Amino acid sequence: MDIITTVLIILAVSLIIGEIMESKGFPNVVAAMIVGIVLGPAVLNFITPDAVLYGLSDISLFFIVLLIGVEVSTELLTRNLKSSMALTSSSFAIPFILMISFAVFVYNIPILVAIILSLSVSIPSISIISVLLLRYNLLSKEGGARILSSVVISDVLAFLILSSLINTAEIYYKLAAILIFIILLLLLDLFMRKNAERSKAFFESLRAKERGEQLIFASIIVWGLFISRIFEALGFTFILGALFSGMIINDVVIGEDLIGIIKRTLTRIDDSFFIPIFFTIAGLGVVFPPAQYYGLIIGLVLISILVGGFLNYLTSKIFLTDLKARTSMALFGGRGAVGVVIATFALSEGLIGRDIYSIAIFGTIIISLIMPSFMRKEDRIINMEK
C-alpha cells in the first residue's frame, strides 16, 4: 500500500472514531491508539508499520511536543513550586517507584526495562491534561494552574530520566551537559523577558513585512529543530529539545497577538493531522503480549488508579482547595501523549521489546478510559458553561 493511501486511511478512521469517543468524554488520542491496534498486525493486519511511517511519526512527535512547550512557560515551573512538587510526588513519583518495585520483584523484569515501562504508565500527559483544563475552563483557577505546573515538572523529569537511560555509560557527563544547556536556555529566556519591549518591537516589525508571519512561523520551527538537534548531539532525545525550545516562545517575548496566531496554527495542524497520525502509528506497533504479562498490566493499572488516585485525592484537598478533589484526581489520571512518546522512543532505541511496549500502550489506554469517569458529570457541565 502506498504512503498516501495509508495516511488517508489512518487519518480518516482516526478522526471519525476520535470525534465519537470525544463526544463520550474520552480523549481522542486513546481512540487513535485503538484504531492503530485494530488496523495493525495485532488484529486486522491491514496496515504494517514501516520506516516511512516511523519517520512520519517522528515528525509528528516534534510538532506535538513543540506545541506543548509553547503552551507552557518557564514562569509556570517556578510559580507555586512547593505545591507543584508535592502534587508531582503524589501523581507521578510515588506510583512510579511502586510500579518499578512491582515489575522487578513480582515479575522479575530487568530494572532498566521496568523503569521505562513504569515511566510510560505512571506519567501524567501534559497534552491531555492541558486540553481538559481548557475544556472545563479550569486554567483560570489557581488549582488548575498548579495542576498544569505539576504536570510540566513531571513530564520534564520523565524526559530527563528517559534521556539519561539512552547512554548509561556516560550518564553523569550527559546529565551535567544537559543541565548546563537547560540553564543557558533559561538564562536566554530571562534575558529576552527583561528586554521584552525590544523583542516584541522586532517581531512586530518583522510581521509587518510581506509574508512576515510565515517567516516568523518558519523561524520558530527552525529554532525548535536546532535546539532538538543540540539535545540529540548531547546524547539525549530530541523530544526534550522540542519541549524547551517551545518554552522560550511566549507572549512576553513576541507579543500576545503573535503567540495567539502561533498557538492556533500549531494546534490546528496538530489536532487535524499530527496527533491522529502519531497515536495511530503508535497503536500499529502493538501486539498482544503473552498471557503471563496480563497480571503485570493489571498490577500497574491498579497502582496508578488506586494508589496514585488516593494520593492525588489527599494532596488535592490540601493544595487545590478551589477544585473538587474528585475532579483533580480525574485530571491527574490523564494518560496518553507523554507515556506513548516514551514507550515509542524506547522501542526505537532498542531499550525495550515489542511485548513491553505493548504493555505500556495497553496500560495507558486502560487508565485513560477509566480515570475520566471519576470527574462528576455536574462538574463538567458547570465548568463548560462558565
Q: What is the pLDDT along the chain (386 residues), one digit of tens a residue?
A: 889 999 999 999 999 998 888 787 676 777 888 899 899 988 899 998 888 998 998 898 889 878 878 877 666 666 777 788 889 999 999 999 999 999 999 999 999 999 999 999 999 877 667 666 766 677 667 888 788 788 878 877 887 788 777 766 666 676 777 778 878 888 888 888 888 888 888 888 888 888 888 999 999 999 999 999 988 887 667 877 887 888 888 777 888 888 888 988 998 998 899 989 988 988 887 878 888 889 999 999 999 999 999 999 999 889 888 888 888 888 888 776 678 878 888 888 888 998 899 899 888 888 877 886 677 555 555 444 44
pLDDT, tens only, 69-80: 887 766 666 677
* Segments forming the whole domain that contains residue 335: 3-385
| Domain CATH number, residue 180 | 1.20.1530.20
Alpha helices by DSSP H, 28-110: 28-39, 51-71, 74-78, 81-88, 94-105
Note the pLDDT of residue 386: 44
Q: What is the DSSP letter of 308?
A: I
Q: Which residues contact 4 (CB under 8 A, 6 or more apart)?
A: none
Q: In whole angstroms, what is the distance from residue 374 CA to residue 4 CA?
A: 40
Cβ atoms of residues 217 and 265 within 8 Å: yes
Q: How many domains does the chain have?
A: 1
